[in-house]
Structure 1
Amino acid sequence: MVNTRAERLRTPRSTVRPVLQVVELQGTQESTGDRGLGLHEAGLGNLEAAAALGQDPFKSQVRLWMEKTGRRDLLHPVRLDNDSSAYWSRLLEPIVAAHYTMRTGRKVRCVNTTRRHPEYPWMCATVVREVVASSEVQLLECLSVGMQMAPLWALGVPEYIRLRVLHQLAVTGEQAADVVVLLGGQDLQVYRIERHEFEIARLIRQERAFWRHVERDQAPPASEGDG
C-alpha cells in the first residue's frame, strides 16, 4: 500500500519517551543562510521557528509550508551571492565568536550538530557553538548584521531571532543562550536569552499547529504579504 505524503510525515504516537538524537552535520547549508537543515524535509529547525509562527519578516508561513510539502519547484529560488548579508554573516562568525570570548572570558567550542526534541521528533535544532563549562549559559549564537538591518536591533534581539533561540532551548533542554551580534561591522552587542517554560510550551503548541498543516498537506491560512 502506498502512503500519501501527509501520512508519511505524520508522527506516530508513542508512550515511550524517545532518546535525544544527535546528528552530525556535514557542511549542509541553506541558500537563504539557514544552516544545518540536512533533515530539512523531516521537521522544523530552529531557523524555521519564526516562519512557522508567522513571525519571520523574510519568510511567510505559506512559503515554509510549500518547502516542507515538496512544492519548492513552485517557488522563486532564493539566490545567495558572495556579497549577500548571509554570506558575510557566516564568514564573520568565527571572528564574532572570538570577540565574544575576549569580552566575556567564556570559552567557546564549535560543535555543528543537529538535535531532535526527545518528545516531539518533528522538532530539530542546529547547535553550531557551545559555551564551555558555564553554569549560566550553554549555547552561543553568532550573527553579523549590516547597516540596513541594524534598526531591527534597536530595542534588543528581534522577535524572530528570539523565537529561533527559544526553539533551540526547547529542543536541547539547555537553560540559556547568548546572542552576540556585530552591527554594521563595528558595534558588538551581547544579549542573554534564558529558558522560560511558559513561552516554550506556547512555542511548541504553535509550531505543532503549523506542523499539522504539513502532515495533512493543507496550506495554512494566507496572511497579508504572502502573495
Structure 2
Amino acid sequence: MPSTCSQDPTSERWPSAVEAGLVSLDAAAAVGRDPFKSAVRLWMEKTERHDLLQPVDPFLVQSAETAAYWDRLLEPIVAAHYALRTGRQVPRTRALLRHPQHPWMLALPGREVVGAPDVQLLECRCVGMHAAELWSAGLPAYVRIQMLHRLAVTGAQALDVVALICGQDLRIHRVERDEVEISRLIDAEREFWHCVATDCAPLAGDRAEV
C-alpha cells in the first residue's frame, strides 16, 4: 500500500493499541479492503489520534453495540451447532499469539477444532440484517483476508467460518492456507504498520492487491 512516507510467542494480556500490532479483525482495514473501516481510520486508532476521528452516527454506534451483544450471546450456540453438525469438539482458547517473524501480526485463535486432520480452527460469526447482503455470494472478501491473517499467525492449515445469517441461515465456509495470498497480505500489512511506526498516515483510498 503506498503511503505519504518514504518477543514472546504467546501472551494472555492485551497490549495497548500502539504496541499490540494488527489482529485478525484489523487485517482487511489495514489493506483497504474493509467495508466498515478505512485504513486511515485504523491508522488513527493505532496511533491514538482519537481526537481526529470523525464522530460516528449515534444510530450506527447503537447498531454496532446491538450486533456485538448478539454476537457474544449467540456465539456459543453457533459453535455448539457446528459441533453437533460435524461431531467435532471446539474448545475456546484465549491465548494471544504473535507471528514469529512479524511481531506486529497478532491473532486470537478463538476456537480450536479437535480431532479433525483437515481443519484446525473455528471462527463463529452472527450476521445481522445490515451485513447480510455482503454474505449473499459466499464468504466476503474482507472476512477471507481476516482469516488468512489468522492462519498466517497461528500456522494452521485451514479454518472453518460458521456464520449464522439473520438468526436462521447457518453456513459453513472453509478457508485453506494459501502461501501466495498470505505473502501478499503480509507485505501489505507491513506497509501499513510502517505508517504506524513512522507516524505517517497511509494515503486515503489506496487498496492493496491482496
Q: Given residue 138 of structure 1, which amino acid in structure 2 is its aligned partner?
A: Q
TM-score (ref. length: structure 2): 0.87
Gaps spanning 5+ residues in structure 1: where?
Answer: 1-17, 26-36
Gaps spanning 5+ residues in structure 2: where?
Answer: 1-6
Query: What is the deviation of 1:68?
Result: 1.1
Query: What is the deviation of 1:133?
Result: 2.2
In 1, Cα distance between the equivalents of 2:200 and 2:110? 33
Paired position in structure 2 for 1:22: 10
Query: What is the deviation of 1:39?
Result: 4.5
| Among candidates 12, 26, 29, match of residue 51 of structure 1 | 29
Structure with bigger helix share is 2
Alignment of 1:75-114 (within 5 A): 75-76=53-54, 79=61, 84-114=66-96
In 2, Cα distance between the equivalents of 1:108 and 1:83? 26
Paired position in structure 1 for 2:18: 41
Matching of residue 116 in structure 1 with residue 98 in structure 2: yes
In 2, Cα distance between the equivalents of 1:171 and 1:113? 12
Contact 2:17–2:47 (Cα < 8 Å) also in 1: no
Q: Given residue 198 of structure 2, which amino acid in structure 1 is its aligned partner?
A: R
The C-alpha deviation readout for 1:166-187, integer Å capped at 9, x for no partner, is: 0000001000000000001001
Q: Across the two proteins, how many residue pairs are aligned to each other? A: 195
**More relative contact order, 1 or 2 (CA 8 Å, 6+ apart):** 2
Alignment of 1:54-203 (within 5 A): 54-76=32-54, 79=61, 84-203=66-185
RMSD: 1.8
Contact 1:61–1:220 (Cα < 8 Å) also in 2: yes
3-state SS in 2 of match to 1:180? strand
Query: What is the deviation of 1:147?
Result: 2.2
Query: What is the deviation of 1:203?
Result: 0.4
Contact 2:90–2:114 (Cα < 8 Å) also in 1: yes
